[in-house]
Amino acid sequence: MCEIKSIEEIDFNELWMKTKQNSSHGKKHKSCSMIWHDKDKAKKYDERVKENNRERAMLQIEKLKINSTSTILDIGAGPGTLAIPLAKMVKKVTAVEPAMGMFECLKQNIEKENLNNLACINKKWEEVNIDEIEKHDIVISSFSLDMLSLQDALKKMNDLANEYVYIFYSAGETPWEKRYKEIYHRLGREYISGPKSNYIYNMLYQMGIYANIEVYETNYTQKFKNLDDAANEFKHMLDIETPNQEKILKEYLSKNLIKPIFPTGKFGIKENGNLVLKGKTITAMIWWEKKNK
């Protein structure tokens, strides 16, 4: 093995790429856009965010330097978790969303809110030509950096921003990754997580962008109607294919969905007739101001 003498010798773009490809989801070629092409899954995600996790979205928005004249480019906008409320506050929002299921939810939410200042682009960020989108004051990526070439994605974001770029990404192991590891262990597999926010910060540093970083904690909640509902949610993420694997999954969920909540947020509780999983997520907000803006 080649000895690394300094951090400057590390190619963080290559490291990001290899870590993503070697992760459990990467090995199965499951990008975020592939998972959320399914309209029913996208709709359920949208409902869960609206019901349980709006707090996280509003906290993100509070941290942005925006005003009524701002224009915003939201990359990987999903069903409009940030784009919809932002469009009510600023001059214009452009939302880029590759997954068809999420894109359909986004369009429905725009129509429901009667917004005429929110434009949608159904493309992967890698496929977006820099000449087809005008520069925006602010560029945002919220838990959506799923592309293999991190460097190209970050450069395009920086090039299309007039004032600020904001990236929200996980710091450390997430509650759902911890559960995936526990379930994989019971299935006789090893769960390997993907890259986290430290890769992004170091990639930016190598690009000559010396970003700010703020780390904060938020609550995370998942509600399910019953055990079958919970199992269906986990099945598509964990490649559960056989009856025996599903039995193992349900045994795990039946134990963890009904235990009292612990200070660490490890287990779930039954709440208002729903089965609930709760936890704490650590988010890194990486942001920088454009030079010579």
Per-residue pLDDT of the chain (293 residues; tens, 9 = 90+): 567 778 888 999 999 999 999 998 776 655 555 677 777 777 877 787 777 667 789 999 999 999 999 999 999 999 999 999 999 999 999 999 999 999 999 999 999 999 999 999 999 999 999 999 999 999 999 999 989 999 999 999 999 999 999 999 999 999 889 999 999 999 999 999 999 999 999 999 999 999 999 999 988 888 888 889 889 888 878 889 899 999 999 999 988 885 434 444 444 554 555 788 888 899 999 999 997 65
CATH code at 126?
A: 3.40.50.150
Q: Give the pLDDT score at 259.
A: 43
In a domain, 40, yes or no: yes
What is the distance between the alpha carbons of residues 273 and 292, in angstroms, rounded to a whole number? Answer: 55
Q: Give the pLDDT score at 34.
A: 66
What is the distance between the alpha carbons of residues 77 and 186, in angstroms, rounded to a whole number? Answer: 34
In a domain, 3, yes or no: no
In a domain, 80, yes or no: yes
Bridge partners, residue 165, by sequence: 139, 288
In a domain, 267, yes or no: no
In a domain, 82, yes or no: yes
What is the distance between the alpha carbons of residues 204 and 261, in angstroms, rounded to a whole number? Answer: 38
Q: What is the pTM of this model?
A: 0.90
In a domain, 246, yes or no: no
Contact 15, 24 (CB under 8 A): no
Q: Which domain holds residue 212?
A: 10-172+193-219+281-289
In a domain, 235, yes or no: no
In a domain, 59, yes or no: yes
Placement of tokens 């690009």 in the chain: 207
Q: Give the pLDDT score at 292.
A: 64
- Please give the tally of structural domains in the chain: 1
Q: Give the pLDDT score at 260.
A: 38
What is the distance between the alpha carbons of residues 177 and 56, in angstroms, rounded to a whole number? Answer: 18
